[in-house]
Amino acid sequence: MNVRTNTHTAFDLLMHYALRSRACALAAPDVSPLKKSWTGIGFTLGKQHFLASMDDISEIINLPQCTKIPRTKPYVRGAANIRGSIIPVIDLMTFFAKGTSRVTRLRRLLVIDFREFSTGLVVDDILGMQHFPYDNYEASISTQLDTCFHPYISGTYFREITDTQDIERWPVLDLDRLLTDENLDNLSA
């Protein structure tokens, strides 16, 4: 019977395997430091796209059934039961005196937690999470933006579209400024 004696310990074998795997490993790619970025939710009102800070939005849902509330302003769609909480639902297109051609069942509700209360804001469509480097922020407002939106815009993020070399501008809707507007402070007509 041929008995083989092994003088290597388990630790020696593990060290040998580690050295062999390091010798075969690829070098790590050069990674430039990540740029800090701002993330918001993109949405549309009519043909105009906007951003809202992720911190301001608690959820995005399909437009729920609303119970109309008598003697309220025209932009108040009513009240909706969202997970056991009754919240007012505001149609932003009507608030800004713009018509919408979007089918109601395709519209979405941004649920905003503001000053310990929730409010629902109806938007035409959700464009998903949008990421922008902090450096791509301007405090100015685009001249192409309808003036009815100007009081509620805190600035604009921009990015270059690589295919066309065009600059895409995304106005940031300041939800604090919007929800403290005197027209939204008192919803009764």
Cα 92 to chain centroid, rounded: 17
CA atoms within 13 A on the CB side of 28: 4
Would you place residue 5 in the very low, low, confident or very high pLDDT band (cuts 50, 70, 90)?
low
| Residue 1, in any domain of the structure | no
| Residue 19, in any domain of the structure | no
Domain count, the chain: 1
| Residue 30, in any domain of the structure | no
| Residue 132, in any domain of the structure | yes
CATH number at residue 58: 2.40.50.180
- Residue 181's alpha-carbon distances to 38, 95, 161, 186, in angstroms, are 25, 11, 34, 9
Decide if pLDDT at 41 tops 70: yes
Q: How far is 31 from 75, CA to CA, in rounded Å?
A: 50
| Residue 59, in any domain of the structure | yes
| Residue 4, in any domain of the structure | no
What is residue 97's DSSP assignment?
Answer: T
Instruction: For the chain, give the mean pLDDT.
Output: 87
Beta strands in 68-163 (DSSP E): 76-82, 85-91, 108-114, 117-123, 125-133, 137-138, 153-160
* pLDDT tens, residue by residue, 122-162: 999 999 999 999 999 999 887 788 889 999 999 999 988 87
Decide if pLDDT at 32 tops 80: no
Strands across the sheet containing 153-160: 125-133, 37-45, 48-53, 167-173, 153-160, 137-138
In which domain, by residue range, is 86 found? Answer: 37-185
| Residue 25, in any domain of the structure | no
| Residue 106, in any domain of the structure | yes
* pLDDT tens, residue by residue, 99-123: 766 677 789 999 999 888 899 999 9
Highest mean pLDDT among 82-91, 98-107, 176-185 belongs to 82-91
